[in-house]
A and B are shown apart, each in its own frame.
Chain A
Amino acid sequence: MSRIVVRDLTKVYGDLEVLSPMSLDIAEGSFVSIIGPSGCGKTTLMRIVAGLEPATSGVVELSGGSPAEARRQKRVAMVPQQPGLLPWRTVEANARLLLDVHTAANPSDAADPTELLREVGLGDFLDAHPHELSGGMQQRVALVRALALHAPLVVMDEPFAALDEITRAEMRLLLARLVEGRGATVLFITHSISEAVALSDRVLVSSSRPGRIVADIAVDLPRPRPADVEDDARFVALCAEVRHALHGGRS
Protein backbone atom coordinates (compact mmCIF):
# COMPACT_ATOMS: atom_id res chain seq x y z
CA MET A 1 0.00 0.00 0.00
CA SER A 2 1.14 3.42 -0.82
CA ARG A 3 0.09 6.80 0.43
CA ILE A 4 0.38 9.48 -2.24
CA VAL A 5 1.15 13.01 -1.12
CA VAL A 6 1.38 15.78 -3.69
CA ARG A 7 2.32 19.29 -2.59
CA ASP A 8 2.22 22.37 -4.83
CA LEU A 9 2.97 20.32 -7.91
CA THR A 10 3.36 22.27 -11.17
CA LYS A 11 4.37 21.23 -14.64
CA VAL A 12 5.28 23.61 -17.44
CA TYR A 13 6.31 22.64 -20.98
CA GLY A 14 7.96 25.68 -22.51
CA ASP A 15 5.20 28.31 -22.34
CA LEU A 16 2.48 25.78 -21.70
CA GLU A 17 1.34 25.49 -18.10
CA VAL A 18 -0.09 21.98 -17.82
CA LEU A 19 -0.56 21.69 -14.07
CA SER A 20 -1.11 24.70 -11.86
CA PRO A 21 -0.14 24.25 -8.21
CA MET A 22 -1.87 21.04 -7.19
CA SER A 23 -1.96 19.33 -3.84
CA LEU A 24 -3.38 15.91 -3.02
CA ASP A 25 -3.33 13.45 -0.21
CA ILE A 26 -4.47 9.98 -1.11
CA ALA A 27 -4.83 7.42 1.63
CA GLU A 28 -3.20 4.01 1.49
CA GLY A 29 -5.34 1.37 -0.15
CA SER A 30 -7.91 3.75 -1.55
CA PHE A 31 -9.22 3.88 -5.09
CA VAL A 32 -9.13 7.45 -6.39
CA SER A 33 -10.27 8.62 -9.81
CA ILE A 34 -9.24 11.80 -11.52
CA ILE A 35 -11.75 13.02 -14.04
CA GLY A 36 -11.46 16.08 -16.23
CA PRO A 37 -11.69 17.43 -19.75
CA SER A 38 -9.16 16.42 -22.42
CA GLY A 39 -5.80 18.11 -22.09
CA CYS A 40 -6.26 18.97 -18.41
CA GLY A 41 -2.97 17.35 -17.48
CA LYS A 42 -4.35 14.10 -16.05
CA THR A 43 -1.88 11.97 -17.95
CA THR A 44 0.97 14.32 -17.03
CA LEU A 45 0.06 13.99 -13.36
CA MET A 46 0.01 10.23 -13.70
CA ARG A 47 3.40 10.15 -15.42
CA ILE A 48 4.90 12.32 -12.69
CA VAL A 49 3.46 10.09 -9.97
CA ALA A 50 4.81 7.02 -11.81
CA GLY A 51 8.27 8.58 -11.87
CA LEU A 52 8.36 8.79 -15.67
CA GLU A 53 8.62 12.56 -15.78
CA PRO A 54 10.05 15.16 -13.39
CA ALA A 55 7.85 17.88 -11.90
CA THR A 56 8.66 21.51 -12.66
CA SER A 57 8.21 22.36 -9.00
CA GLY A 58 6.57 20.86 -5.94
CA VAL A 59 6.86 17.52 -4.22
CA VAL A 60 5.42 14.06 -4.83
CA GLU A 61 5.87 11.41 -2.16
CA LEU A 62 4.87 7.79 -2.38
CA SER A 63 4.88 6.42 1.17
CA GLY A 64 7.52 8.99 2.00
CA GLY A 65 9.82 8.20 -0.95
CA SER A 66 10.21 9.78 -4.37
CA PRO A 67 8.44 8.43 -7.47
CA ALA A 68 11.86 7.72 -9.03
CA GLU A 69 12.73 5.47 -6.08
CA ALA A 70 9.39 3.72 -6.29
CA ARG A 71 9.94 3.13 -10.00
CA ARG A 72 13.38 1.64 -9.41
CA GLN A 73 11.88 -0.69 -6.80
CA LYS A 74 9.02 -1.70 -9.11
CA ARG A 75 6.48 -0.37 -6.67
CA VAL A 76 4.33 1.29 -9.33
CA ALA A 77 2.27 -0.79 -11.76
CA MET A 78 0.96 0.96 -14.84
CA VAL A 79 -1.98 0.21 -17.08
CA PRO A 80 -1.66 2.41 -20.16
CA GLN A 81 -4.48 3.57 -22.42
CA GLN A 82 -3.36 1.23 -25.20
CA PRO A 83 -2.76 -2.32 -23.96
CA GLY A 84 0.84 -2.20 -25.23
CA LEU A 85 0.99 -5.98 -25.59
CA LEU A 86 3.99 -7.36 -27.45
CA PRO A 87 2.62 -9.13 -30.53
CA TRP A 88 5.35 -11.81 -30.54
CA ARG A 89 4.64 -12.87 -26.97
CA THR A 90 1.84 -15.21 -25.96
CA VAL A 91 -0.84 -14.01 -23.57
CA GLU A 92 0.94 -15.71 -20.70
CA ALA A 93 4.33 -14.23 -21.63
CA ASN A 94 2.78 -10.79 -22.00
CA ALA A 95 1.23 -11.05 -18.56
CA ARG A 96 4.69 -11.91 -17.25
CA LEU A 97 6.51 -9.09 -19.08
CA LEU A 98 6.97 -6.72 -16.15
CA LEU A 99 8.27 -9.59 -14.02
CA ASP A 100 10.72 -10.60 -16.78
CA VAL A 101 12.66 -7.33 -16.75
CA HIS A 102 14.65 -5.75 -13.93
CA THR A 103 14.16 -8.98 -12.04
CA ALA A 104 16.35 -7.92 -9.12
CA ALA A 105 13.50 -5.69 -7.90
CA ASN A 106 10.75 -8.32 -8.22
CA PRO A 107 8.65 -8.56 -5.08
CA SER A 108 8.82 -11.83 -3.20
CA ASP A 109 5.03 -12.00 -3.17
CA ALA A 110 4.48 -11.43 -6.89
CA ALA A 111 1.20 -12.93 -8.01
CA ASP A 112 1.15 -15.85 -10.43
CA PRO A 113 0.15 -14.32 -13.78
CA THR A 114 -1.28 -17.65 -15.00
CA GLU A 115 -3.65 -17.83 -12.07
CA LEU A 116 -4.69 -14.21 -12.55
CA LEU A 117 -5.32 -14.85 -16.25
CA ARG A 118 -7.62 -17.73 -15.28
CA GLU A 119 -9.33 -15.41 -12.81
CA VAL A 120 -10.13 -12.88 -15.55
CA GLY A 121 -11.45 -15.61 -17.84
CA LEU A 122 -8.44 -16.01 -20.12
CA GLY A 123 -7.51 -19.51 -18.97
CA ASP A 124 -8.14 -20.91 -22.44
CA PHE A 125 -6.00 -18.27 -24.13
CA LEU A 126 -2.67 -18.62 -22.30
CA ASP A 127 -0.86 -19.65 -25.49
CA ALA A 128 -2.75 -17.31 -27.80
CA HIS A 129 -1.14 -14.25 -29.32
CA PRO A 130 -2.55 -10.74 -28.85
CA HIS A 131 -3.89 -10.54 -32.41
CA GLU A 132 -6.20 -13.44 -31.63
CA LEU A 133 -7.88 -11.52 -28.79
CA SER A 134 -10.65 -8.92 -28.76
CA GLY A 135 -9.94 -5.41 -27.46
CA GLY A 136 -11.49 -6.20 -24.09
CA MET A 137 -9.46 -9.38 -23.74
CA GLN A 138 -6.26 -7.51 -24.60
CA GLN A 139 -6.99 -4.93 -21.93
CA ARG A 140 -7.63 -7.74 -19.45
CA VAL A 141 -4.13 -9.05 -20.17
CA ALA A 142 -2.81 -5.52 -19.54
CA LEU A 143 -4.62 -5.48 -16.18
CA VAL A 144 -3.17 -8.85 -15.20
CA ARG A 145 0.29 -7.72 -16.29
CA ALA A 146 0.06 -4.77 -13.87
CA LEU A 147 -1.54 -6.66 -10.98
CA ALA A 148 0.96 -9.53 -11.25
CA LEU A 149 3.62 -7.10 -10.01
CA HIS A 150 1.77 -6.89 -6.71
CA ALA A 151 2.81 -3.24 -6.53
CA PRO A 152 1.46 -1.07 -3.72
CA LEU A 153 0.46 1.58 -6.24
CA VAL A 154 -1.43 0.97 -9.47
CA VAL A 155 -1.88 3.84 -11.94
CA MET A 156 -4.31 3.49 -14.81
CA ASP A 157 -4.59 5.95 -17.65
CA GLU A 158 -8.06 5.63 -19.20
CA PRO A 159 -7.53 1.90 -19.62
CA PHE A 160 -11.01 1.32 -21.03
CA ALA A 161 -11.23 4.39 -23.28
CA ALA A 162 -10.81 2.41 -26.48
CA LEU A 163 -13.47 -0.18 -25.61
CA ASP A 164 -17.15 -0.30 -26.54
CA GLU A 165 -19.78 0.50 -23.93
CA ILE A 166 -20.76 -3.12 -23.22
CA THR A 167 -17.16 -4.26 -22.77
CA ARG A 168 -16.45 -1.22 -20.63
CA ALA A 169 -19.21 -2.14 -18.22
CA GLU A 170 -17.84 -5.68 -17.95
CA MET A 171 -14.31 -4.41 -17.40
CA ARG A 172 -15.54 -2.07 -14.68
CA LEU A 173 -16.98 -4.97 -12.69
CA LEU A 174 -13.90 -7.06 -13.31
CA LEU A 175 -11.56 -4.32 -12.15
CA ALA A 176 -13.59 -3.69 -9.01
CA ARG A 177 -13.48 -7.40 -8.22
CA LEU A 178 -9.73 -7.65 -8.87
CA VAL A 179 -8.74 -4.59 -6.88
CA GLU A 180 -11.02 -4.98 -3.88
CA GLY A 181 -9.22 -6.86 -1.15
CA ARG A 182 -5.87 -6.63 -2.87
CA GLY A 183 -4.95 -3.59 -0.80
CA ALA A 184 -3.22 -1.56 -3.48
CA THR A 185 -3.70 2.17 -3.81
CA VAL A 186 -5.19 2.89 -7.22
CA LEU A 187 -4.96 6.13 -9.16
CA PHE A 188 -7.44 5.89 -11.99
CA ILE A 189 -7.72 8.41 -14.79
CA THR A 190 -10.92 8.49 -16.77
CA HIS A 191 -13.28 10.49 -18.94
CA SER A 192 -16.29 8.56 -17.78
CA ILE A 193 -18.33 9.87 -14.85
CA SER A 194 -20.13 6.59 -14.18
CA GLU A 195 -16.87 4.66 -14.35
CA ALA A 196 -15.27 7.00 -11.82
CA VAL A 197 -18.19 6.80 -9.39
CA ALA A 198 -18.69 3.04 -9.75
CA LEU A 199 -15.08 2.25 -8.97
CA SER A 200 -13.78 4.92 -6.60
CA ASP A 201 -13.64 5.81 -2.97
CA ARG A 202 -12.95 9.39 -4.04
CA VAL A 203 -13.43 11.27 -7.29
CA LEU A 204 -11.20 14.26 -7.93
CA VAL A 205 -12.51 16.63 -10.59
CA SER A 206 -9.91 18.55 -12.54
CA SER A 207 -10.37 21.85 -14.36
CA SER A 208 -9.31 22.31 -17.96
CA ARG A 209 -5.67 23.30 -18.58
CA PRO A 210 -3.84 24.28 -16.49
CA GLY A 211 -5.22 21.45 -14.40
CA ARG A 212 -6.15 21.93 -10.77
CA ILE A 213 -8.54 20.02 -8.55
CA VAL A 214 -11.88 21.82 -8.40
CA ALA A 215 -13.85 19.22 -6.47
CA ASP A 216 -13.09 16.31 -4.18
CA ILE A 217 -16.11 14.03 -3.93
CA ALA A 218 -16.22 11.13 -1.48
CA VAL A 219 -18.08 8.09 -2.81
CA ASP A 220 -19.85 6.46 0.11
CA LEU A 221 -21.23 3.47 -1.77
CA PRO A 222 -20.84 0.08 -0.08
CA ARG A 223 -17.89 -2.20 -0.74
CA PRO A 224 -17.67 -4.64 -2.37
CA ARG A 225 -19.61 -2.78 -4.99
CA PRO A 226 -22.63 -4.78 -6.10
CA ALA A 227 -23.00 -5.48 -9.82
CA ASP A 228 -26.14 -3.32 -9.93
CA VAL A 229 -24.53 -0.37 -8.15
CA GLU A 230 -25.39 1.89 -11.07
CA ASP A 231 -29.11 1.48 -10.35
CA ASP A 232 -28.62 2.84 -6.84
CA ALA A 233 -30.19 6.29 -6.26
CA ARG A 234 -27.07 7.32 -4.37
CA PHE A 235 -24.97 6.41 -7.42
CA VAL A 236 -27.13 8.59 -9.68
CA ALA A 237 -26.89 11.49 -7.24
CA LEU A 238 -23.09 11.17 -7.05
CA CYS A 239 -22.82 11.14 -10.84
CA ALA A 240 -24.85 14.34 -10.94
CA GLU A 241 -22.55 15.91 -8.37
CA VAL A 242 -19.47 15.02 -10.43
CA ARG A 243 -21.12 16.32 -13.59
CA HIS A 244 -21.93 19.66 -11.95
CA ALA A 245 -18.39 19.98 -10.67
CA LEU A 246 -17.05 19.26 -14.16
CA HIS A 247 -19.24 21.93 -15.72
CA GLY A 248 -18.49 24.40 -12.97
CA GLY A 249 -14.79 23.80 -13.49
CA ARG A 250 -15.11 24.69 -17.15
CA SER A 251 -16.83 28.07 -16.73
Chain B
Amino acid sequence: MNKRFLAPVVGIASFLLLWELVVRVLDVKPFILRAPSRIVRHLVEHAGTFASAAWITAMHAVGGLLIALAVALVVGSLMAASEFVEHATGPVLTLLQVTPFVAYIASVVLWLGSGTPPVLFITGLVCMPAFAFATVDGMRGADPAARELLASVDASRWEVLWRLRLPSALPSLFTAARYNVGLALIAAYLVEGGNFANAGLGAIGRRAAALNEGDTLWAAIFAMALLGTVLLVLISLLQRVVLHWHVSQRTART
Protein backbone atom coordinates (compact mmCIF):
# COMPACT_ATOMS: atom_id res chain seq x y z
CA MET B 1 0.00 0.00 0.00
CA ASN B 2 2.74 2.46 1.01
CA LYS B 3 4.62 1.97 -2.22
CA ARG B 4 1.58 3.03 -4.22
CA PHE B 5 1.66 6.46 -2.59
CA LEU B 6 5.40 6.68 -2.22
CA ALA B 7 6.33 5.98 -5.83
CA PRO B 8 4.42 8.89 -7.43
CA VAL B 9 5.71 11.29 -4.75
CA VAL B 10 9.30 10.18 -5.35
CA GLY B 11 8.81 10.49 -9.12
CA ILE B 12 7.42 14.02 -9.02
CA ALA B 13 9.88 15.20 -6.37
CA SER B 14 12.80 13.89 -8.44
CA PHE B 15 11.47 15.65 -11.53
CA LEU B 16 11.16 19.00 -9.68
CA LEU B 17 14.56 18.54 -8.08
CA LEU B 18 16.18 17.88 -11.45
CA TRP B 19 14.45 20.95 -12.87
CA GLU B 20 15.66 23.08 -9.93
CA LEU B 21 19.21 21.79 -10.38
CA VAL B 22 19.27 22.44 -14.12
CA VAL B 23 18.08 26.03 -13.62
CA ARG B 24 20.60 26.72 -10.81
CA VAL B 25 23.64 24.87 -12.13
CA LEU B 26 23.32 26.08 -15.71
CA ASP B 27 22.14 29.50 -14.51
CA VAL B 28 19.18 29.53 -16.91
CA LYS B 29 17.65 32.99 -17.36
CA PRO B 30 14.23 33.36 -15.68
CA PHE B 31 12.53 34.45 -18.92
CA ILE B 32 13.47 31.07 -20.42
CA LEU B 33 12.81 28.81 -17.44
CA ARG B 34 12.12 29.53 -13.81
CA ALA B 35 13.11 27.36 -10.89
CA PRO B 36 10.18 25.49 -9.35
CA SER B 37 11.03 26.92 -5.93
CA ARG B 38 10.46 30.44 -7.26
CA ILE B 39 7.15 29.43 -8.88
CA VAL B 40 5.91 27.74 -5.73
CA ARG B 41 6.88 30.78 -3.63
CA HIS B 42 4.80 33.02 -5.90
CA LEU B 43 1.92 30.58 -5.79
CA VAL B 44 1.96 30.50 -1.99
CA GLU B 45 2.24 34.30 -1.70
CA HIS B 46 -0.91 34.72 -3.79
CA ALA B 47 -2.63 31.57 -2.57
CA GLY B 48 -6.03 33.23 -2.10
CA THR B 49 -6.20 34.57 -5.66
CA PHE B 50 -5.09 31.30 -7.19
CA ALA B 51 -7.37 29.19 -5.01
CA SER B 52 -10.49 31.11 -5.96
CA ALA B 53 -9.50 31.10 -9.64
CA ALA B 54 -8.78 27.36 -9.46
CA TRP B 55 -12.21 26.77 -7.92
CA ILE B 56 -13.82 28.56 -10.89
CA THR B 57 -11.76 26.55 -13.39
CA ALA B 58 -12.57 23.33 -11.56
CA MET B 59 -16.29 24.09 -11.74
CA HIS B 60 -15.95 24.87 -15.45
CA ALA B 61 -14.11 21.63 -16.15
CA VAL B 62 -16.38 19.45 -14.03
CA GLY B 63 -19.49 21.18 -15.42
CA GLY B 64 -18.27 20.60 -18.97
CA LEU B 65 -17.48 16.95 -18.18
CA LEU B 66 -20.95 16.36 -16.75
CA ILE B 67 -22.64 18.00 -19.73
CA ALA B 68 -20.48 15.93 -22.08
CA LEU B 69 -21.35 12.76 -20.16
CA ALA B 70 -25.08 13.46 -20.22
CA VAL B 71 -25.13 14.17 -23.95
CA ALA B 72 -22.82 11.23 -24.69
CA LEU B 73 -25.04 8.77 -22.81
CA VAL B 74 -27.97 9.71 -25.03
CA VAL B 75 -25.92 9.80 -28.24
CA GLY B 76 -24.06 6.60 -27.30
CA SER B 77 -27.27 4.72 -26.45
CA LEU B 78 -28.75 5.65 -29.82
CA MET B 79 -25.53 4.60 -31.56
CA ALA B 80 -25.46 1.28 -29.70
CA ALA B 81 -29.10 0.67 -30.62
CA SER B 82 -28.74 1.35 -34.34
CA GLU B 83 -25.84 0.67 -36.67
CA PHE B 84 -27.09 3.32 -39.05
CA VAL B 85 -27.00 5.95 -36.33
CA GLU B 86 -23.56 4.71 -35.31
CA HIS B 87 -22.16 4.96 -38.82
CA ALA B 88 -23.75 8.36 -39.35
CA THR B 89 -22.63 9.81 -36.01
CA GLY B 90 -19.18 8.26 -35.67
CA PRO B 91 -17.44 10.44 -38.29
CA VAL B 92 -18.96 13.62 -36.85
CA LEU B 93 -17.67 12.73 -33.40
CA THR B 94 -14.24 11.99 -34.85
CA LEU B 95 -14.24 15.39 -36.57
CA LEU B 96 -15.04 17.02 -33.23
CA GLN B 97 -12.11 15.17 -31.68
CA VAL B 98 -9.51 16.08 -34.30
CA THR B 99 -10.50 19.70 -34.95
CA PRO B 100 -8.37 22.13 -32.90
CA PHE B 101 -11.04 23.79 -30.79
CA VAL B 102 -8.73 26.73 -30.05
CA ALA B 103 -9.48 27.93 -33.58
CA TYR B 104 -13.17 28.51 -32.93
CA ILE B 105 -13.12 29.77 -29.36
CA ALA B 106 -13.50 33.40 -30.53
CA SER B 107 -16.55 32.51 -32.65
CA VAL B 108 -18.25 30.71 -29.77
CA VAL B 109 -17.55 33.63 -27.41
CA LEU B 110 -19.10 36.02 -29.93
CA TRP B 111 -22.08 33.71 -30.21
CA LEU B 112 -22.70 32.86 -26.53
CA GLY B 113 -21.21 35.98 -24.96
CA SER B 114 -18.46 36.04 -22.37
CA GLY B 115 -18.51 34.25 -19.03
CA THR B 116 -19.43 30.68 -18.22
CA PRO B 117 -21.63 29.64 -21.20
CA PRO B 118 -18.87 29.47 -23.86
CA VAL B 119 -16.54 27.68 -21.41
CA LEU B 120 -19.10 24.98 -20.67
CA PHE B 121 -20.10 24.71 -24.32
CA ILE B 122 -16.59 24.08 -25.65
CA THR B 123 -15.50 21.92 -22.72
CA GLY B 124 -18.63 19.81 -23.13
CA LEU B 125 -18.20 19.63 -26.88
CA VAL B 126 -14.61 18.41 -26.89
CA CYS B 127 -15.17 15.87 -24.10
CA MET B 128 -18.35 14.41 -25.54
CA PRO B 129 -16.92 12.16 -28.32
CA ALA B 130 -14.70 10.07 -26.01
CA PHE B 131 -17.65 9.51 -23.65
CA ALA B 132 -19.92 8.61 -26.57
CA PHE B 133 -17.48 6.07 -28.01
CA ALA B 134 -16.98 4.60 -24.53
CA THR B 135 -20.75 4.28 -24.11
CA VAL B 136 -21.10 2.44 -27.42
CA ASP B 137 -18.21 0.07 -26.68
CA GLY B 138 -19.40 -0.68 -23.17
CA MET B 139 -23.01 -1.25 -24.15
CA ARG B 140 -22.05 -3.47 -27.08
CA GLY B 141 -19.86 -5.50 -24.75
CA ALA B 142 -22.72 -6.42 -22.42
CA ASP B 143 -22.70 -10.16 -21.63
CA PRO B 144 -24.64 -11.99 -24.40
CA ALA B 145 -25.90 -14.60 -21.93
CA ALA B 146 -27.38 -11.86 -19.75
CA ARG B 147 -28.92 -10.20 -22.80
CA GLU B 148 -30.57 -13.46 -23.84
CA LEU B 149 -31.76 -14.02 -20.31
CA LEU B 150 -33.46 -10.62 -20.13
CA ALA B 151 -35.00 -11.23 -23.55
CA SER B 152 -36.37 -14.56 -22.30
CA VAL B 153 -38.61 -12.74 -19.82
CA ASP B 154 -39.49 -9.98 -22.29
CA ALA B 155 -37.64 -7.20 -20.45
CA SER B 156 -38.29 -3.82 -22.09
CA ARG B 157 -35.60 -1.92 -23.98
CA TRP B 158 -35.50 0.56 -21.13
CA GLU B 159 -34.96 -2.21 -18.57
CA VAL B 160 -32.18 -3.74 -20.65
CA LEU B 161 -30.58 -0.31 -20.96
CA TRP B 162 -30.85 0.47 -17.27
CA ARG B 163 -30.17 -2.95 -15.76
CA LEU B 164 -27.58 -4.27 -18.19
CA ARG B 165 -26.19 -1.95 -20.84
CA LEU B 166 -25.52 1.12 -18.74
CA PRO B 167 -23.71 -0.72 -15.93
CA SER B 168 -21.76 -2.62 -18.59
CA ALA B 169 -20.55 0.72 -19.97
CA LEU B 170 -19.26 1.98 -16.60
CA PRO B 171 -15.70 0.60 -16.90
CA SER B 172 -15.10 2.16 -20.32
CA LEU B 173 -16.78 5.40 -19.18
CA PHE B 174 -14.30 5.67 -16.32
CA THR B 175 -11.40 5.11 -18.70
CA ALA B 176 -12.78 7.88 -20.91
CA ALA B 177 -13.23 10.13 -17.87
CA ARG B 178 -9.56 9.82 -16.95
CA TYR B 179 -8.60 10.84 -20.47
CA ASN B 180 -11.20 13.60 -20.59
CA VAL B 181 -10.14 15.28 -17.33
CA GLY B 182 -6.99 16.65 -18.94
CA LEU B 183 -8.88 17.71 -22.03
CA ALA B 184 -11.60 19.43 -19.99
CA LEU B 185 -9.03 21.40 -17.98
CA ILE B 186 -7.19 22.52 -21.12
CA ALA B 187 -10.44 23.54 -22.79
CA ALA B 188 -11.67 25.41 -19.70
CA TYR B 189 -8.30 27.18 -19.33
CA LEU B 190 -8.15 28.28 -22.95
CA VAL B 191 -11.75 29.47 -23.18
CA GLU B 192 -11.41 31.35 -19.88
CA GLY B 193 -8.41 33.08 -21.40
CA GLY B 194 -10.24 33.72 -24.65
CA ASN B 195 -13.25 35.55 -23.24
CA PHE B 196 -13.68 38.78 -21.33
CA ALA B 197 -15.14 37.52 -18.07
CA ASN B 198 -11.77 37.66 -16.31
CA ALA B 199 -12.47 34.57 -14.23
CA GLY B 200 -10.53 31.37 -13.67
CA LEU B 201 -6.91 30.30 -14.00
CA GLY B 202 -7.13 30.71 -17.78
CA ALA B 203 -7.84 34.42 -17.43
CA ILE B 204 -4.93 34.86 -15.00
CA GLY B 205 -2.60 32.95 -17.34
CA ARG B 206 -3.69 34.88 -20.40
CA ARG B 207 -3.25 38.26 -18.74
CA ALA B 208 0.12 37.28 -17.26
CA ALA B 209 1.34 36.15 -20.68
CA ALA B 210 0.20 39.40 -22.28
CA LEU B 211 1.87 41.50 -19.55
CA ASN B 212 5.00 39.31 -19.47
CA GLU B 213 4.48 38.38 -15.81
CA GLY B 214 6.38 35.12 -15.85
CA ASP B 215 5.97 34.30 -12.17
CA THR B 216 2.19 34.62 -12.39
CA LEU B 217 2.01 32.64 -15.62
CA TRP B 218 4.05 29.76 -14.21
CA ALA B 219 2.11 29.83 -10.94
CA ALA B 220 -1.09 29.47 -12.98
CA ILE B 221 0.45 26.50 -14.82
CA PHE B 222 1.40 24.87 -11.50
CA ALA B 223 -2.10 25.50 -10.17
CA MET B 224 -3.53 23.80 -13.26
CA ALA B 225 -1.27 20.77 -12.73
CA LEU B 226 -2.34 20.57 -9.11
CA LEU B 227 -5.99 20.85 -10.07
CA GLY B 228 -5.64 18.10 -12.67
CA THR B 229 -4.03 15.81 -10.11
CA VAL B 230 -6.79 16.44 -7.58
CA LEU B 231 -9.50 15.74 -10.16
CA LEU B 232 -7.79 12.52 -11.28
CA VAL B 233 -7.48 11.33 -7.69
CA LEU B 234 -11.16 12.07 -7.12
CA ILE B 235 -12.09 10.06 -10.23
CA SER B 236 -9.91 7.17 -9.07
CA LEU B 237 -11.63 7.16 -5.69
CA LEU B 238 -15.05 7.26 -7.31
CA GLN B 239 -14.01 4.46 -9.65
CA ARG B 240 -12.91 2.34 -6.73
CA VAL B 241 -16.29 2.72 -5.06
CA VAL B 242 -18.49 2.39 -8.13
CA LEU B 243 -16.50 -0.33 -9.90
CA HIS B 244 -15.58 -2.41 -6.83
CA TRP B 245 -16.94 -5.45 -8.69
CA HIS B 246 -14.85 -4.90 -11.81
CA VAL B 247 -11.70 -6.83 -12.62
CA SER B 248 -9.70 -3.61 -13.03
CA GLN B 249 -10.23 -2.78 -9.36
CA ARG B 250 -9.40 -6.24 -8.15
CA THR B 251 -6.11 -6.89 -9.96
CA ALA B 252 -4.77 -3.35 -9.53
CA ARG B 253 -2.46 -4.43 -6.71
CA THR B 254 -1.12 -7.66 -8.16
Contact = CB atoms under 8 A, between A and B. Distances in A.
Q: Do A and B bind each other?
A: yes
Interface of A: 50-52, 71-72, 74, 76-78, 80-88, 97-98, 100-102, 105, 129-131, 145, 149
Contacts of B170: 88
Given A101-B159, A101-B163, A129-B245, A83 B145 contact: yes
Interface stretch (B46-54, B146-154, B194-202): B146-154
B151 A72 contact: no
Residue of A80, A81, A105 with most chain B CB atoms under a 10 A cut-off: A80
A131 B154 contact: no
Contact of A131 (B148, B151, B250): B250
Given A72-B154, A86-B167, A131 B149 contact: no
B150 A71 contact: no
Contact of B153 (A98, A129, A131): A98
Nearest to B142: A86
B155 A88 contact: no
Contacts of B143: 82, 84, 86
B145 A82 contact: yes
Residue of A82, A88, A102, A105 with most chain B CB atoms under a 10 A cut-off: A88
- Binding site secondary structure of chain A: loop
B208 interface: no
Given A84-B143, A86-B167, A88-B167, A102 B149 contact: no
Contacts, number: 67
A52 B144 CA distance: 13
B246 to A, nearest CB: 7
Interface string B68-109: 000000000000000000000000000000000000000000
A133 B153 CA distance: 25
Given A81-B145, A101-B159, A71 B245 contact: no
Contacts of A72: 154
Contacts of A102: 153-156, 159
B1 interface: no
A72 B151 CA distance: 10
B153 A101 contact: yes
Interface of B: 143, 145-146, 148-156, 159, 163-164, 167, 170, 245-247, 250
A70 to B, nearest CB: 10
Contacts of A77: 152
Nearest to A101: B155
Contacts of B154: 71-72, 74, 102, 105
A86 B146 contact: yes
A131 B245 contact: yes
Given A84-B145, A131-B250, A78 B152 contact: yes
Residue of A82, A101, A131 with most chain B CB atoms under a 10 A cut-off: A101
Contacts of B148: 52, 78, 80, 84
B245 A87 contact: yes
B145 A76 contact: no
A100 B163 CA distance: 9
A71 B152 CA distance: 6
Contacts of B159: 101-102
A242 B167 CA distance: 44
A52 B151 contact: yes
B5 to A, nearest CB: 26
B163 A84 contact: no
A88 B149 contact: no
Please provide the 8 A-B residue pairs with the shortest distance between their CB atoms, ordered closest to farther.
A84-B145, A101-B155, A82-B145, A84-B146, A78-B152, A101-B159, A80-B145, A88-B245
Contacts of B167: 86, 88
A105 B156 CA distance: 12
Nearest to B167: A88
Nearest to A151: B153
21 contacts: A51-B152, A52-B148, A72-B154, A76-B153, A78-B149, A82-B143, A82-B145, A83-B145, A84-B143, A84-B146, A86-B167, A101-B153, A101-B155, A101-B156, A101-B159, A101-B163, A102-B153, A102-B155, A102-B156, A105-B153, A149-B153
A101 B247 CA distance: 26
Contact of B247 (A51, A74, A98, A131): A131
Contacts of B153: 71, 74, 76, 98, 101-102, 105, 149
